[in-house]
């Protein structure tokens, strides 16, 4: 146990943040969805908002903050692409207790062979239980089927106790939970914050803290942008990337603590073993086929960096030299570890040999 955690009633917390913003002069438009945007000749943005009744509104603004969560609705339309680190999914169900019968406990995390379970009490005598597993296991073991999900819950020791005697009160809900970041987090007149910029593994329990911190950094960057600081948005982006790199390091350390299932592919993927020898000779031959396969790759590094790694392998080069040259060109923006992970991925995909 390291430090204290907080149990947050998310609905109340979000409402209190919105109120605090309104008290400081923000105009709240509740229940609206941003469905369109245009850059006007004067440099401002015109946003199209849709309310719950389907009525449309227009809003003119000098700056857009994309806080739409992991779908990064606005940023991806400006050309930003998510770069994924894994394929983690959460498969959750809510359980209901008879009045006053809910267990008084904190969040529970329990590792099993095919992933890990997360259980937490909810307000109003309810609890949520989630199986975190990769897309591959989800497909192979058909975790969307209630009986398969329950059979795995029955194999837990602690989490099943949390909901003993409760009745299921929701369908199984599938939530993407992969760690990812945008290859572009800001541009002229916009930036992405919170999960829209990067997402953390729920094991970290740090998504909300990270989102709040990201909001503070974003506010400083926007103030700098309007005070003619040409570097303000670039600085925000590099701070966010740095934070993501530190998070990846923590994630590697936490997952590698679990050693009970050496044959489980879920845990093998998280042991982050490096199999590439530094002296291995890597080769890349340019071809239309490789270029089109490369464009479809979404893991570990942005497409431009995967392309750079391939180009560094033209004519044949040792893996250690490729990593050193890549890091020199990108000014050490990402760890050597991630460059190696990306090279292993390019080898697996048979782009480099």
Ligand X SMILES: Cc1cc2nc3c(=O)[nH]c(=O)nc-3n(C[C@H](O)[C@H](O)[C@H](O)COP(=O)(O)OP(=O)(O)OC[C@H]3O[C@@H](n4cnc5c(N)ncnc54)[C@H](O)[C@@H]3O)c2cc1C
Interaction site with ligand X (CB under 6 A): 33-34, 67-69, 71, 73, 90, 130, 175, 177, 194-196, 202, 205-209, 211
Closest distance to ligand X from the beta carbon of 225 (Å): 20
Report in angstroms how near the CB of residue 216 gets to ligand X at its nearest: 13
Of residues 68 and 264, the one with the C-beta less far from ligand X: 68
Comparison of 8 and 101: residue with beta carbon closer to ligand X: 8
Would you call 72 exposed, middle or buried from its count of C-beta atoms within 10 A (0-12, 13-18, 19+)? buried
**SS3 labels along 302-325:** CHHHHHHHHHHCECCEEHHHHHHH
Please give the Cα distance from 275 to 302 (Å, whole number): 22
C-beta atoms surrounding 155 within 10 Å: 13
Distance (Å, rounded) from C-alpha 105 to C-alpha 113?
A: 24
CA distance 163 to 76: 39
Distance CA 112, CA 105 (A): 20
**Between 91 and 299, whose beta carbon lies closer to ligand X?**
91
Q: Which is nearer to ligand X, 66 or 96 (CB)?
A: 66
CB 32 → ligand X: shortest distance, Å? 6
Q: Which is nearer to ligand X, 7 or 289 (CB)?
A: 7
CB of 334 to ligand X, least distance (A): 21
Name the β-bridge partners of 48. 36, 58
CB of 178 to ligand X, least distance (A): 9
């Amino acid at each position: 146990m390291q430090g204290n955690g907080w149990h947050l009633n998310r609905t109340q917390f979000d409402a209190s943040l919105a109120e605090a913003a309104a008290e400081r002069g923000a105009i709240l438009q509740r229940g609206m969805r941003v469905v369109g945007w245009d850059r006007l000749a004067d440099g401002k943005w015109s946003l199209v908002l849709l309310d719950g009744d389907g009525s449309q509104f227009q809003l003119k603004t000098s700056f857009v903050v994309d806080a739409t969560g992991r779908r990064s609705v606005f940023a991806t339309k400006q050309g930003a692409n998510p770069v994924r680190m894994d394929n983690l999914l959460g498969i959750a169900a809510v359980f209901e207790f008879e009045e006053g019968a809910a267990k008084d406990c904190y969040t529970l995390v329990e590792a099993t062979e095919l992933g890990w379970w997360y259980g937490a009490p909810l307000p109003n005598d309810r609890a949520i239980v989630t199986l975190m597993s990769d897309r591959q296991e989800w497909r192979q073991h058909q975790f969307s089927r209630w009986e398969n999900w329950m059979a795995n819950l029955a194999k837990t020791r602690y989490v099943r106790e949390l909901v003993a005697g409760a009745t299921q009160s929701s369908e199984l809900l599938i939530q993407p939970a992969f760690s990812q970041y945008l290859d572009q987090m800001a541009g002229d007149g916009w930036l992405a914050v919170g999960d829209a910029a990067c997402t953390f593994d729920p094991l970290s329990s740090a998504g909300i803290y990270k989102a709040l911190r990201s909001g503070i950094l974003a506010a400083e960057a926007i103030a700098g942008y309007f005070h003619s600081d040409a570097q303000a948005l670039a600085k925000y982006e590099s701070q966010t990337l740095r934070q993501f790199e530190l998070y990846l390091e923590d994630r590697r350390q936490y997952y590698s603590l679990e050693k009970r299932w050496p044959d489980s592919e879920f845990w093998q993927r998280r042991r982050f073993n490096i199999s590439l020898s530094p002296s291995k000779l890597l080769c890349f031959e340019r071809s239309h086929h490789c270029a089109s396969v490369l464009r479809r790759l979404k893991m570990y590094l942005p497409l431009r960096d995967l392309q750079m790694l391939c180009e560094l392998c033209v004519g044949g080069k040792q893996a250690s030299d490729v990593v050193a040259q890549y890091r020199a060109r990108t000014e050490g923006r990402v760890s050597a570890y991630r460059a190696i992970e990306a090279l292993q991925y390019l080898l697996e995909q048979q782009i480099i040999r």
